[in-house]
């Protein structure tokens, strides 16, 4: 996150999509550096896991100070409870009896259709990942927009694209937000494209009332 053009991309992304929560992985940035970024994007809350050497680094930022409550964290995860505007409370990453969503670079695919270019993905890894989904009861959300989130060798004979980033949700999370959608966002300066999760409740349908009057 150290380069100005990556920061500008993040600011443009936030201006366009207006997310309440932003999760960044592989930041390679310490708490002081991330605090400068938080101030520049004008978010009030932040949790940072600093990188180890030249790899890693996580940051979760939220717009209003009372939207997130830290539950646990490690070098590989940040686990929070979210209360955003008037939506029901839910949990982002972790394991609990609350509706559950885990989102990010999961570094695996659910079928060969999640990959374009190069050799076939090892089938045993695909089978293993699908077994994890079955064991946990999590569902892989459909991705709208460009079907791949990571690439290498663009415009070469070795161009490779894979959908490594995804959102896995529990059935009760889907029951809570049945109109939710997951999108890819183009134009990233990274080899990963951002994904945008929009949790939505059932939209209420307003019926148009007929005008009536009574002679009196």
**What φ, ψ does residue 179 adopt, rounded to 5°?**
-100, 10
The CATH class, in words, for 1-79 is: alpha beta
CA–CA separation, 154 and 193 (whole Å): 13
Strand ranges in the chain using DSSP code E only, listed in sequence order: 21-25, 45-49, 58-62, 68-74, 77-82, 90-92, 100-105, 115-116, 139-140, 143-144, 150-152, 160-162, 165-169, 181-184, 195-198
Residue 210: both structure tokens together:
């007929």
What is the structure's pLDDT at 178? 94
Q: Which of 49, 43, 44, 14 is nearest to 28 (CA)?
A: 49
What is the structure's pLDDT at 157? 92
In order along its 216 residues, the chain shows pLDDT tens digits of 778 899 999 999 999 999 999 999 889 999 999 999 999 999 999 999 999 988 889 999 999 999 999 999 999 899 999 999 888 999 998 677 789 999 999 999 999 999 999 999 999 999 999 999 999 999 999 999 999 999 999 989 999 999 999 999 999 999 999 999 999 999 888 899 999 999 998 866 555 556 565 665
Pairing mode of beta strands 45-49, 160-162: unpaired
CA–CA separation, 138 and 119 (whole Å): 28
Residue 102: both structure tokens together:
């885990």
Q: Hey, where are the domains in the chain?
A: 1-79, 99-200
The CATH class, in words, for 99-200 is: alpha beta
CA–CA separation, 24 and 139 (whole Å): 22
Residue 196: both structure tokens together:
């945008």
Exposure letters 142-160 (e unless 16+ CB within 10 A, then b): ebeeeebbbbeeeeeeeeb
């Amino acid at each position: 996150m150290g380069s100005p053009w990556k920061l500008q991309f993040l600011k443009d992304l936030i201006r366009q999509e207006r997310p309440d929560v932003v999760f960044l992985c592989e930041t390679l940035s310490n708490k002081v550096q991330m605090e400068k970024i938080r101030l520049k994007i004008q978010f009030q809350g932040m949790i940072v896991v600093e990188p180890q050497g030249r790899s890693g680094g996580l940051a979760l930022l939220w717009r209003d100070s009372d939207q997130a409550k830290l539950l646990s964290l490690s070098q590989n995860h940040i686990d929070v409870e979210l209360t955003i505007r008037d939506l029901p409370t839910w949990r982002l990453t972790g394991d609990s009896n609350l509706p559950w969503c885990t989102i990010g670079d999961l570094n695996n695919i659910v079928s060969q259709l999640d990959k374009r270019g190069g050799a076939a993905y090892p089938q045993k890894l695909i089978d293993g990942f699908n077994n994890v989904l079955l064991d946990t009861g999590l569902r892989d959300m459909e991705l709208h927009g460009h079907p791949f989130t990571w690439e290498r060798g663009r415009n070469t004979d070795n161009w490779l694209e894979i959908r490594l980033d995804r959102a896995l949700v529990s059935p009760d999370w889907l029951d809570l937000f049945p109109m939710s959608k997951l999108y890819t966002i183009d134009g990233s300066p990274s080899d990963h494209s951002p994904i945008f999760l929009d949790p939505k409740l059932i939209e209420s349908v307003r019926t148009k009332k007929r005008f009536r009057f009574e002679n009196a």
